[in-house]
Amino acid sequence: MTPAKRKITVLPGDGIGPEVVDSAIAIINATGVAVEFEKCEAGARAFQKGIVTGIPKETIQSIERTQVVLKGPLETPIGYGNRSANVTLRTLFETYGNIRPVRELPGVQTAFTGRGLDIVIVRENIEDLYAGIEYMQTPGVAESLKLISREGCEKIVKLAFAFAIAEGRKAVHCATKSNILKLTEGLLQHTFEELALQYPSITSKHILIDNAAHQLAMRPEQFDVIVTTNMNGDILSDLTSGLTGGLGFAPSANIGNDVSIFEAVHGSAPDIAGKNKANPTALVLSAAMMLRHIEEGKAANDVEQAVLVTLESGLRTSDMIGAEKPASTTEFTRAVISNLGKTSKLSPPKKYTKVELPPPQLGVNVVPAASRKLAGLDVYIESDLEAKTLATDLEKIAASSPLVLQMITNRGAMVFPGNGHRVSLVDHYRCRFVQRDGAAKIGDAEILSLLGAVGARHRWMHIEKLQDFDGEPAYSKSQV
């Protein structure tokens, strides 16, 4: 009896997407694996039809059935209009981990050729600034909320270590900006340092993200696996792909508990779309990652090795250095198919084991606090008053309140109490009120009363409660 074929959702995408996707499908089919592809729509055409997410209902239903996606690049309006269809897919199916491997490729000349680069960026994929929660707080001041959760940190750290173990890697670096963003980026650092104790066979080290970028430009071979937050990972993964030849060679996997999406990280390149010039390497290597994910390890190794053998042979597409007589997309595809079953002389197959994904966390994930105390609030006020004048008025408003004005900042700089230094002001003030010495315990009623009094005289747009958890302040302190 013929075994049932594994169904895979395919999103051809925009621009060169259909060409590189067709290349990958042809190569997968040539391996003889029992798979069946469901081609669906997403991206530019869906936006043009008025589908605000860029993802039609039929596409969502296919992904829910197959749980595996091979995706071409999707176009998204820049700077206005609809949210990225790529981000929508990651959020909708909670593909919380983005895995971006880069390695030195035979025959692909870079400034780092000969140094044996083999690095994996493991990027948290759904939180951070990419949650896309933004507001114009005044007509001239924009805000974006950077949300980092303990759950998100745990999942991405566990994935990074699981991936390192599956590939026989030796070290995991955690890259953050926790020296400045002590609560958000710091949460990833502290979670990493705590969980790393569960993986004694793997060397673990924290590194500041700016130092990581510096070290990647100077001595990248020191890195093995780097785990980091969403935006940092987006930037670092493009940097590392540049070390080994560029985005045309960079595969990726978006891993979730239920759905995983495999895609090249390059764009849709509309200038060469339909000209049979696209380099399909990145998507073909992404397809190899997909085959490994569905436990078709032999086919995955065969595809990966066939690409390496093809590059060793000197065949080049037009984007590659040294392509005097560039091969077309279809010529490169045929060459890879003809090299299936061959082994690279310079980069032999690796040994892989299955990546043991962390189990899904059910219900609402709560980090308990044994005690909590309301210490005050920050009120964000839109005003054209000078800071001292605003402070005088707020002090009058709070005169009978158990809360007292402690400070005012403008774009992060303290402007009250002043230090004599002049700073350029905008009409956006953060005004911190804390419990007055000797006052009774404050609660929501006192906050609402003060907020009502402030609102009677000033335009406010946002508040943040200041809380202590287990005796520790759960908010950033005053800045000079």
* 119-166 pLDDT, tens digit each: 999 999 999 998 889 999 999 999 999 999 999 999 999 999 999 999
Q: Are residues 218 and 290 in the same domain?
A: no
Reply yes or no on whether the pLDDT at 73 is more than 50. yes
Q: Do both 168 and 186 map to the same domain?
A: yes
- Asked whether residue 108 is assigned to any structural domain, the reply reads no
End-of-domain residue from the set 367, 385, 418: 367
| pLDDT tier for residue 367 given thresholds of 50, 70 and 90 | very high
Active-site residue list: 130, 177, 210, 234, 238
Structure tokens at 61: 């239903």
- pLDDT over 50 (residue 7): yes
Mean pLDDT within 8-27: 97
Q: Is 304 found in the same domain as 237?
A: no
pLDDT for res 80: 43
Q: Is the pLDDT at 79 greater than 60, yes or no?
A: no
Query: Based on the domain organization, do 139 and 214 belong to the same domain?
Result: yes
H helices of 114-266, in order, are 150-166, 184-195, 209-218, 230-243
| 248 in any annotated domain | no
Residue recorded with tokens 């593909």: 95
Cα 112 versus chain centre, distance: 26
- Report in angstroms the alpha-carbon separations of 265 from 53, 101, 343, 423, 446: 20, 11, 26, 41, 51
DSSP states along 54-69:
S--HHHHHHHHHH-EE
Q: What is the CATH number of the domain that holds 336?
A: 3.40.718.10
Say whether both 363 and 393 belong to one domain. no
**pLDDT confidence of residue 75:** 86
Percent of the chain residues past pLDDT 70, beyond the cut: 96
Q: What pLDDT sits at residue 331?
A: 97
Same domain, 358 and 395: no
pTM of the entire predicted model:
0.93
How do residues 27-51 score in pLDDT, each as one tens digit? 999 999 999 999 999 998 898 888 8
CB under 8 Å to 296, separation ≥6 — which residues?
A: 31, 33
In a domain, 113, yes or no: no
Average pLDDT over residues 323-345: 93
Burial class (CB in 10 A: 0-12, 13-18, 19+), 263: buried
- Please report whether residue 102 resides in a domain: no
How confident is the model at residue 415, as a pLDDT? 94
Number of independent structural domains in the chain:
3
Q: 411: helix, coil or strand? A: coil
- Tokens 């239920």 appear where? 258
* 130 and 203 inside one domain: yes
Q: Which range (148-157, 320-329, 459-468) has the least confidence? A: 320-329
Q: Is residue 49 located within the same domain as residue 23?
A: yes
Residue span of the structural domain in which 70 resides: 1-94+256-367
d(CA 6, CA 3): 9
| Coil, helix or strand at residue 106 | coil
Q: How would you classify residue 42: left for phi > 0, otherwise alpha for psi between -120 and 50, otherwise beta? A: beta
pLDDT, greater one: 321 or 183:
183
pLDDT of residue 78: 59
Residue 110 lies in a domain: no
Has residue 424 been placed in a domain?
A: yes
Residue in this structure with the two tokens 């080049």, named with its chain if needed: 316
Q: Are residues 285 and 349 in the same domain?
A: yes
| Residue type present at position 107 | G
Categorize the per-residue pLDDT at 325 as very low, low, confident or very high, splitting at 50, 70 and 90: confident
Q: Tell me, what's the pLDDT at 477?
A: 84
Residues 396 and 311 in one domain: no
* Same-domain pairing of 232 and 124: yes
Query: Residue 480: is its pLDDT beyond 60?
Result: no
Res. 86: pLDDT tops 90: no
Q: Which of 315, 340, 367 is the last residue of a domain?
A: 367
Question: Looking at the domain assignment, is residue 480 inside a domain?
Answer: no
CATH code assigned at 399:
3.30.70.1570
Considering the chain, what is the average pLDDT of its residues?
94
Q: What is the pLDDT of residue 406?
A: 97
> Nearest to residue 303, comparing CAs of 26, 28, 19, 17?
28
The answer to whether position 112 is within a domain reads: no
Domain limit, last residue, from 367, 382, 404: 367
- Give yes or no: residues 221 and 127 share one domain: yes
Number of residues that make up the chain: 480
Alpha helices in 340-443 (DSSP H): 387-397
pLDDT bin (cut points 50, 70, 90) of residue 410 is: very high
Query: What pLDDT was estimated at residue 346?
Result: 83
pLDDT of residue 387: 95
